[in-house]
Amino acid sequence: MSVPMLKIGAVLSTMAMVTNWMSQTLPSLVGLNGTVISSEGTHERIVSGLYPGSEEGWQVYSTASDPDGRCVCTVVAPARNLCKRDPRSRQLRLLTEQVQNVSQSMEVVDLRTSRDLQYVRDSEPLLRGVDGRLHTYVANPRALTAKGLQELKGQMSQLRPLLSVVEQYRLDLQTLATLRLELLNLSIILTAIQEEVGAYDYEELQQRVLLLETRLHSCMNKLGCGRLTAVSTPITVRASGSRFGSWMTDAMIPSSDSRVWSMDGYYKGRRVLEYRTMGDFTKGQNFVQHLLPHPWAGTGHVVYNGSLYYNKHQSNILIQYHFRSRSVLLQRSLSGAGYNNTFPYSWGGSSDIDLMADEMGLWAVYTSIPNAGNIMVSRLDSRSLEVLRSWDTGFPKRSAGEAFMICGTLYVTNSHLAGAKVHFAYHTNSSTYEYTDIPFHNQYSHISMMDYNPRERALYTWNNGHQVLYNVTLFHVIRSDG
């Protein structure tokens, strides 16, 4: 079965991997399944530097996760033009250790890919069964109404890319096998270099490492942005605070910051609690307090690159508060934006301005009188809070329960109460919208904050005095030019 236009391998890395993998990851993240959280953060990372100086530095390129979601090693590649003759045996020994770490990383990716391939293989009988029934209905139209036939055809078309996924994963496995062989050869070369320090020209080695870097980058990019297709069952991290509030981790990518922040209430609050790790947050220990110089309004706050961005009480002024310096770095008015319950979400609470971050950067969701109360989305410069570009979604903000951004797409829920679902999506890359039907379990029946964190690929919510996490399922499409 062919796919129109481009050769499309629809990589459903989240149907099995995210649903199963992250449903295990998030409980581990918050310490709900007995997994020990490392003292350095929410993930266990093995990061080692080869050279101490910046001129000779080796750069951390990317990381891989094991099937349980923990970071187990770091892929290290030399910066361009830094490979040169180096007689120091200790550095070469460390380089050999790094190659071994890369090998471990490939084993992890291989295991994960093999598991996803098995999931797709298990799905093939279902796909072929649906295809068979469709042919039956086509041969005997009386067995199904015309409307039902069209619906079934639509479902078939959506599932058909699974056949391409099977072949794509087979190719991935072959690629990983080739990479492992190449790493083995590189290890042999490094062993020879150790025996004859200074007698080897590094130029060829540099080219091979750079080639490996490029191929690894191509492989890791397959788990990039995608379209939201499902929200998992909720994971209650903690019960604390009042009915309304917000909590978050730093949304900047990449970041090793493991701190968690909590802001109770939506009206004239100034106290921000900062916890060292997610484990400390779940236990309510090891925290410090920040007293903001200006009170906040609503619950639409976000932490991005070490700073808190929030809406100043009874104004449309946005404030950037830097945690480490405990000072306000920036204030700027969001021109025309309503405030003080002029255009809130359906639950009220001065939620006129909602700040959020995703893989693309910092965003503001709000509305104004000229926009007739419809949701506006503006991309912000995090350094100046200037509006870079704005979109009018056409969706009335008072009809929205909450909203969040994923990969440049705004997702809107139809309620903050029980029975809520993700009802509307606006794609800023194409300036188009669609209505969706993505249900999720509103366990405590009153959501006053819902934000996506691109580092964890999870939704953070404040639900009636409970801090709750949801895993998201994203549909990935890899386009190839042949």
348-377 pLDDT tens trace: 999 999 999 999 999 999 999 899 999 999
Give mean pLDDT, residues 288-313: 97
CA distances from 470 to 181, 239, 389 (A): 39, 16, 29
Average pLDDT score, the chain: 76
Query: How much is the pLDDT for 393?
Result: 97
Kindly report the length of the chain. Answer: 482
Give how far the C-alpha of residue 172 lies from the chain's centroid of Cα atoms, to the nearest Å. 22
Q: Side chain identity at 159, as an amino acid letter?
A: L
pLDDT for 34 beyond 70: no
Residue 134: count of CB within 10 angstroms of its CB: 16
Query: How much is the pLDDT for 159?
Result: 67
Q: Counting Cβ atoms within 10 Å, is residue 370 exposed (0-12), middle (13-18) or buried (19+)?
A: exposed
447, two tokens: 């959501």
pLDDT for 476 beyond 90: no
pLDDT for 235 beyond 80: yes
- H or E stretch including 188? helix 161-195
Query: How much is the pLDDT for 216?
Result: 56
Confidence band of 211 (pLDDT split at 50, 70, 90): confident
Encode pLDDT of 150-206 as tens digits. Answer: 777 776 776 666 666 667 677 777 777 777 777 777 677 777 666 665 444 556 666
Let me know the angle formed at the C-alpha of 237 by 236 and 242, rounded to the nearest 5 degrees.
Answer: 85
Pair 111, 67: CB distance under 8 Å = yes
pLDDT for 429 beyond 90: yes
Residue 44: count of CB within 10 angstroms of its CB: 16
pLDDT for 64 beyond 50: no
pTM, two decimal places: 0.57
In percent, the amount of the chain with pLDDT more than 70 equals 64
pLDDT for 425 beyond 50: yes
pLDDT for 77 beyond 70: no
